[in-house]
A and B are shown apart, each in its own frame.
Chain A
Amino acid sequence: MAYSEQEILAGLAEIVSEETGLPTDSVSPEKSFTDDLDIDSLSMMTIVTLAEEKFSVRIPDEEVKNLTTVGDAVSFIAGAQG
């Protein structure tokens, strides 16, 4: 069963909140992981890996640098679902 973009956003917000301590409602699509959420590359890898497990998708390491905003990640995960 494919997740909707809303479900992916909600799930991703939980993962980001767990990793950073930020409230889930601060994790909105237009937010930049680096500039707005202060997430460094190692935290980003943690988030990516947890998202891979949660949504049963693969996010290649070389793709991670293209995921600038939360919305980018939601779109990628939505498109990567089998």
Chain B
Amino acid sequence: MTDPRPTLTQASGPAHSRILGIGGVRGEIVVTNDDVAGPIDSSDEWIRKRTGIITRRRSGPGTDVLDLSEAAARAALDDAGLTGADIDVVILSTITYFSQTPAGAAIVADRIGATPAAAYDISAACAGYCYGIGQADALVRSGAARNVLVIAAEKLSDFIDPTDRSISFLLGDGAGAVVIGPSETPGIGPTIWGSDGSQARLISQTHTWREAVDNGTWPTLRQEGASVFKWAVWQMAPIAEKAMAAAGVTAQDIDAFIPHQANMRIIDQMIKQLKLPTSVVIGRDIAETGNTSAASIPLATERLLREGQVSSGALALQIGFGAGLVYAAQVVVLP
């Protein structure tokens, strides 16, 4: 007797995916080192030497993380030559959206005309963009979606303490977005990703939301900078090497290195550890934009493309790392 139950159809997708378009927006206010130096008893010179930051960009009170997301998403759609109606999934990576539910992604999806796209938020801090790229690549190639919009957006200025010397003075606001879709040729290498919750205390908010409500104390961000520096350089460089190996390329093949824009000192030391040739273009958007967490890699990428430092089709090694601790890296072909 034959089994009466039907055999299910499972989705399958194209062999390859790539980034089809990119967009980014930065906070409209230029905040100088002199603007933030007073409350931390510091100076322009000290901040430049220690972080490589000259200015950071922040948004005013009239702008929230969804406004930044929408603007970046529209720019990415334009760059890809698509509209919201072409998008099947919207992934929003952010740690600075104030509503626990509903997800910001659904609201942004609706604003850009992507309804009824599937939409959800992810919390992977400074690794959020690379986490999103990894998910979007998998969704496209599995046939779960044709085009995925990945948005990485932060309004970190809502979580700063002007007297904090550990992280607040680094932080800026902005959003980057990309559209990931099917491709005739490989455009996204394997994502090497992971986490280490045993080191969760190294970067965190000062209070949980529950404590904030109970105590009336607004949470802000803190980090143990020296320990984060050590982890970011010496633990993350091998992750970047794994991403290159998994993609079948070497440091000699890479056109651009675009790490999370945490601190110029981390970037410089990673370049050393990775032994990148001097021909590799380095993402250094932190100097003018500051550290925008999840948004920093797409913003640095957008700048390199806009300024003509790299061209469409260039191979970029990107790596995000941050609070969790979490990390993700992959090699991508730039749009």
Contacts and interface: CB of A to CB of B under 8 A. Distances in A.
Interface of A: 40-42, 44-46, 48-49, 61, 64
B227 A42 contact: no
B230 interface: yes
A61 B234 contact: no
Nearest to A61: B227
Interface residues of B, number: 12
B39 interface: no
A49 B230 CA distance: 7
Contacts of B269: 46
Contact of A61 (B50, B230, B265): B230
Contacts of B263: 42
Give 7 closest A-B pairs by Cβ, nearest first.
A41-B226, A45-B230, A61-B227, A45-B226, A42-B229, A45-B229, A42-B265
Nearest to A64: B226
Nearest to B230: A45
Interface of B: 50, 224-227, 229-230, 233-234, 263, 265, 269
A53 B265 CA distance: 20
A45 B224 CA distance: 12
Nearest to B225: A41
A64 B230 CA distance: 12
Nearest to B50: A40
Contacts of A48: 230
A44 B234 CA distance: 14
Contacts of B50: 40, 42
B8 to A, nearest CB: 51
A42 B229 CA distance: 7
19 contacts: A41-B229, A42-B225, A42-B226, A42-B229, A42-B263, A42-B265, A44-B226, A45-B226, A45-B227, A45-B229, A45-B230, A48-B230, A49-B230, A49-B233, A49-B234, A61-B224, A61-B226, A61-B230, A64-B226
B229 to A, nearest CB: 5
A64 B269 CA distance: 19
Contacts of B233: 46, 49
A58 to B, nearest CB: 12
Nearest to A53: B234
B53 to A, nearest CB: 14
A42 B269 CA distance: 10
B293 to A, nearest CB: 19
